[in-house]
Amino acid sequence: MRLKHALAVSLLCSLACQPAAAREAPRKQPNILIIVADDLGFSDLGAFGGEIDTPNLDALAKSGLRLTGFHTEAACAPSRAMLLTGTDSHRAGLGNMPESMAPNQTGKRGYEGALRPDTATLGERLVSAGYRTLFSGKWHLGVRPEEDPHARGFQHSFAMLDCCHNHFGLGLSTDRSKMSAYSRDGVTVTSLPRDFYSSDYFAAALIDQLRTTRAEAGGAKPFFAYLAFTAPHAPLQAPPEAIAKYKGRYDGGYDILRKQRLARERELGLIDPLVQAHHAVDTVSWDTLTPTQKQTSARKMEIYAGMVDRLDQAVGKVITELKAEGEFDNTVIFFLSDNGAEGRDPPPKAGIPVPALETLGTAQSYVNYGPGWAQAGTAPFWRFKTFASEGGIHTPAFVTGAPVAHPGTISGRYTNVRDIVPTVLDIAHVPLIRGPFEGRTVQPTEGLSWSGLLANDARVYPPDTSIGTELFGSRSLRQGDWKITDISDGTWHLFNVAQDAGETHDLSATEPARKAALVAAWKTYASQVGVVMPDPPTHPNPPRDHD
């Protein structure tokens, strides 16, 4: 009896002598939901200055931390590779888009056109930490079975394997080398529902995965879900009712819309009221268009708005599911666009008639909305998708959930898509393994955690850190407030982007030493990550003027 009493007293003493933190119950791991929009402009959401009806995303953004200094690569696959691995796209295997490889890049290390085996995805890291891992949407990181999301850490997946497809599912292929192939849990999909629409179905598939795995796990395991929309990527297609909702909304044209968006961004505190917007490029004044051209162009923007609206509704269904199951309060949500708005609107091919107005937006219509509307979405920034100027790589993003210490605020700190891996691992209380991962050597995680940013708006990157980019020969390097930009014409421009977010004043002549230092830093970056400049140039949308 005395021995039992002594043991009990010893145990109580040891517990009492422990720090309070050590006696706390183990921390509950949060759910993680990452939502990615495809080619969404900086100001398309209402919470970022837009007029499109996006109440679900607006509510999330306004209840969290809006990131107005968030940056990606200039196109989708490289950005998505960086999102999942935390490393530069050239290290990850996406030095160029798989469909755009130049002859001198083909076969080179870092230009495999798919995630390299020596990368560790966020799915792989979290599944090894006990998470149930779910994916639904656009993959674009490899089409072979060993490159499928199901082979890269996602226990359940529904994937559009390549870059884009008919949003209504028309022309499905079972050939994975085609752009119209899908897989489910690694198995090639042979049919899609008759009522298939990309945003609706991707959300529904994720909801089904959430329900299935919740039942399997008995609610004991947290989830990591990656919902990767292909909207509003071209072709512009939406259900008729979604398009009709915006009829007449854009008859005033893209010049007026751009001014309205800029005014709203200033009103919301998203940009400095004194920032000078870069003038729109590669487009013509709305007033010079014929009535028929205006009508057709406005209809394209109506379709685009309908696509964004429908994407928001899809997100709303996922949020409703989380709330119904009591999961919402323990879920941290990240939202971002994978690059700036898409400015291309290729002219009709010879022999193919211009589509009639009433067919625009249907499954039989393949159009985009062009540089005028795109630059209403990217303003005040320079250019749009495919360029390393701010319009191509400065995108909307927000985080909402318990880690955000000051909900409803805005941070203009520089952040990068490669930061999401270390940030999520911090939030999930999962150590970031920087050496070999599960017995294999992996590329380094280069991003930095946002823990200080989410807590007290602390700077993420020291001002002397160099962060380089390159895609299609368009290049940039950011160092603190300074940036050099090459829009793929071989000319470096120097900007103080803290004072000149629109990249309107090239300071090359007045700061030659600084420019030379940044160019040298870019060359060091290019050597470290293995950049191979495309020869001949492969830029899909070469600049038509020199701004």
As annotated, the active-site residues are 76, 140
Q: Is there a contact between 389 and 381 (Cβ–Cβ < 8 Å)?
A: yes
Task: Give the E-state strand segments of 59-118 in sequence order.
Answer: 65-67, 70-71
Cβ neighbours, 10 Å, residue 353: 6
Helix axes 254-268, 370-378, angle to 10 degrees: 10
Residue 149 CA: distances (Å) to CA of 72, 73, 142, 260:
21, 21, 9, 41
258 vs 502: CA distance, rounded Å: 14
Extract the tokens encoding 448: 């930095």
141 vs 159: CA distance, rounded Å: 11
3-state DSSP: the chain helix, strand, coil percent, rounded to 5? 35, 15, 50
* Cα of 68 vs its chain's centroid, Å: 14
Residues in the chain: 547
Burial 80-112 (b: 16+ CB within 10 A, else e): bbbbbbbbbbbbbbbbbbbebbbeebeeeebbb
Tell me the three state secondary structure of residue 321.
helix
131 phi and psi, to 5 degrees?
Answer: -80, 150
Cβ neighbours, 10 Å, residue 170: 14
